[in-house]
């Protein structure tokens, strides 16, 4: 279930990331501890490597159909077929072929594949649609290595779902709640003019509708279920109907904003005017500085970002718009400013979590960040952010005081000063250039 901006998630909302680390004293430089030797009992990736004479075939199916001669040959020559009961029921094979239904967790599946490969048996995994699109390819490639796989894709369920409506989908946002948490999928699609979500029994279509009721209630909805099967169905509704209905869990939910029925392509924009955000007495990162800071952050599509000393929330909100699947926490100690952040986030259809508390104490219960913007706070805040930053992460901090900026530069390694003059009218005399306060921008360590 999604939460509106301004609510703090329970600790379990970040179960896919490690818990906050105990704090250690901050220092200007540090030497990482030596890497302990790997235990002989630790699992290793790709235990078979390329030594096995036969790659593992992954064959995508639509209903009972496979696509291409190579895919049919992979099934015909397999010693072991692994798939759902639905896929196995569609597949003809010799009585000598072992048929295993995929009902176990991935580690059990991997162990079975490894054992069959040790016995030099040909293994073929049956999957739905395109296995490389939210499918088995990623997991098996992580386990065996991509060179140990031979993938035979079919049309993806998303492509087939959009085809039922005659809609193009190169401009659509696609997310999966199939075998994954629902919240990141909702975060990705809530503000998208056109989107698709893959569902499953844990997160059926009606769960998607319930999560969208408070976020994006005005959407045309199409639910395409059991794609490629004899009982394939298509239902047209709206978000309220989606939330109240009962649909086959194995579906693709298509959503389209009627105000954007004619696609014009995505617009990537940041550095909006300060007038686009409610703020107190100019307490906002100026548009030009914000544009530079977001560029230095080098946002990743996913992960966790902290906006510390958020003020109006403008940096975190624009980051959330640029990377909808990014989990953004805006930390602001002033309750009135925190309320403004929630209002600004709603106005910009940005999904962020507002934390009303003083940093660095407010950071203790948050998941470790991959990106951090510091728009307010002392060097103790910077040190705590460095202490918690994930490997390869980036911190960008802005300061107006040179002494503090030099201290930050010593820790982060990079610094510039942003000086901007804006053209303003001067009545009948024409225009003049009006400077805004210069700001030091420091960044590192990635």
Looking at the predicted structure, is the pLDDT value of residue 104 above 80? no
- Model confidence pLDDT, tens digit, residues 106-131: 788 888 899 889 889 999 999 888 99
CATH architecture of 56-155: 3-Layer(aba) Sandwich (3.40)
At residue 196's C-alpha, the angle toward residues 191 and 199, to 5°, is: 115
DSSP structure class, residue 407: H
The values of phi and psi at residue 422, to 5°, are -105, 140
Q: How far does Cα 104 stand from its chain's mean position?
A: 26
Q: Give pLDDT tens digits for 360-410.
A: 999 999 999 999 999 978 899 999 999 999 999 999 999 999 999 999 999
Residue ranges matching CATH 3.30.950.10 in the chain: 158-260
CA 27 to chain centre: 32
Q: Quick one: pLDDT band at residue 346, thresholds 50, 70, 90?
A: confident
CB neighbour list of residue 6: distance below 8 Å, 6 or more residues apart: 338, 339, 341, 342, 345, 354
What is the tens place of the pLDDT at every residue in 235-287? 999 999 999 999 999 999 999 988 765 444 455 667 787 777 888 777 778 88
Cβ atoms 361, 336 nearer than 8 A: no
pLDDT of residue 5: 44
Residue 165 in this model has a pLDDT that exceeds 50: yes
Whether residue 359 contacts residue 308, with contact meaning beta carbons closer than 8 Å, is answered with yes
Cis preceding-peptide flag for 313 (omega within 30 of 0): no
What would the CATH number be for the domain defined by 158-260? Answer: 3.30.950.10
CA distance 142 to 160: 27
Query: In sequence order, what are the beta bridge partners of 60?
Result: 127
What single-letter DSSP state applies at residue 92?
-
Burial of residue 272 (number of CB atoms within 10 Å: 0-12, 13-18, 19+): middle
Give the pLDDT confidence score for residue 151 in this predicted structure. 94
Asked whether 333 and 378 are in contact (CB, 8 A), the reply is no
Distance CA 393, CA 65 (A): 45
| Residue given tokens 């999928």 in the structure block | 185
Residue ranges of the chain assigned to CATH 3.40.1010.10: 56-155
Q: Does domain 268-445 have CATH number 3.40.50.150?
A: yes
| Spatial contact of 220 and 181, defined as CB atoms under 8 Å apart | no
Q: pLDDT at position 38, please?
A: 41
Compute the average pLDDT of residues 218-224. Answer: 93
Report whether 216 contacts 239 (CB < 8 A).
yes
Q: Peptide bond preceding 89: is omega within 30 degrees of 0, i.e. cis?
A: no
Token pair, residue 306, equals 């902290």
The CATH 3.40.50.150 domain(s) of the chain lie at 268-445
Average pLDDT on 170-191 reads 88
Concatenate the DSSP letters of all residues of 34-62 into one string: PPPPPPTTS--S-SSTT-SSSPEEEEEEB
- pLDDT at residue 43 in the model: 40
Q: How many residues appear in the chain?
A: 446
Element (H, E) at 195: strand 194-198
Beta bridge partner(s), residue 179: none
Q: What is the mean pLDDT of the chain?
A: 84
Residue bearing tokens 């509708």: 209
């Amino acid at each position: 279930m999604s939460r509106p901006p301004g609510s703090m998630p329970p600790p379990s909302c970040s179960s896919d990331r490690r818990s906050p680390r105990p704090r250690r004293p901050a220092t200007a430089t540090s030497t990482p501890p030596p890497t302990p030797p790997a235990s002989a009992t630790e699992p290793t990736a790709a235990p078979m490597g390329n030594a096995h004479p036969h790659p593992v075939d992954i064959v995508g199916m639509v209903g009972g159909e496979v696509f291409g001669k190579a895919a049919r040959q992979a099934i015909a020559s397999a010693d072991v077929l692994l798939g759902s009961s639905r896929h196995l029921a569609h597949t003809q094979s010799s009585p000598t072929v072992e048929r295993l239904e995929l009902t176990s967790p991935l580690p059990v599946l991997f162990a079975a594949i490894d054992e069959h490969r040790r016995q030099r048996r040909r293994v073929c995994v049956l999957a739905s649609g395109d296995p490389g699109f939210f499918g088995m390819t990623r997991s098996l490639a992580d386990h065996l290595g991509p060179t140990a796989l031979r993938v035979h894709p079919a049309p993806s369920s998303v492509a087939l779902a959009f085809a039922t409506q005659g809609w193009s989908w190169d401009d659509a946002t696609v997310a999966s709640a199939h075998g994954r948490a629902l919240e990141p999928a909702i975060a990705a699609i809530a503000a998208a003019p056109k989107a698709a979500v893959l569902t499953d029994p844990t997160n059926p279509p009606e769960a998607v509708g319930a999560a969208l009721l408070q976020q994006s209630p005005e959407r045309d909805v199409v639910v395409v279920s059991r794609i490629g099967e004899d009982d394939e169905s298509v239902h047209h509704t709206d978000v309220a109907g989606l939330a109240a209905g009962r649909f086959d869990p194995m579906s693709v939910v298509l959503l389209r904003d009627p105000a954007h029925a004619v696609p014009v392509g995505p617009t990537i924009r940041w550095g909006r005017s300060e007038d686009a955000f409610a703020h107190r007495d100019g307490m906002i990162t100026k548009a030009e500085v914000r544009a530079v800071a977001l560029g230095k952050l080098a946002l990743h599509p996913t992960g966790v970002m902290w906006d510390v000393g958020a003020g109006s929330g403008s940096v975190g909100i624009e980051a959330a718009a640029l990377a909808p699947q990014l989990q953004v926490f805006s930390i602001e100690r002033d309750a009135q400013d925190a309320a403004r952040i929630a209002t600004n986030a709603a106005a910009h259809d940005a999904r962020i979590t507002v934390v009303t508390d003083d940093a660095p104490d407010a950071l203790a219960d948050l998941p470790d960040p991959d990106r951090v913007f510091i728009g307010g706070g002392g060097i103790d805040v910077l040190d705590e952010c460095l202490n918690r930053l994930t490997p390869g992460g980036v911190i960008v901090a802005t300061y107006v005081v040179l002494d503090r900026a030099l201290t930050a530069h010593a820790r982060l390694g990079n610094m510039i000063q942003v000086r901007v003059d804006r053209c303003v009218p001067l009545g009948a005399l024409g225009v003049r250039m009006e400077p805004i306060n210069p700001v030091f921008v420091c960044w590192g360590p990635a």
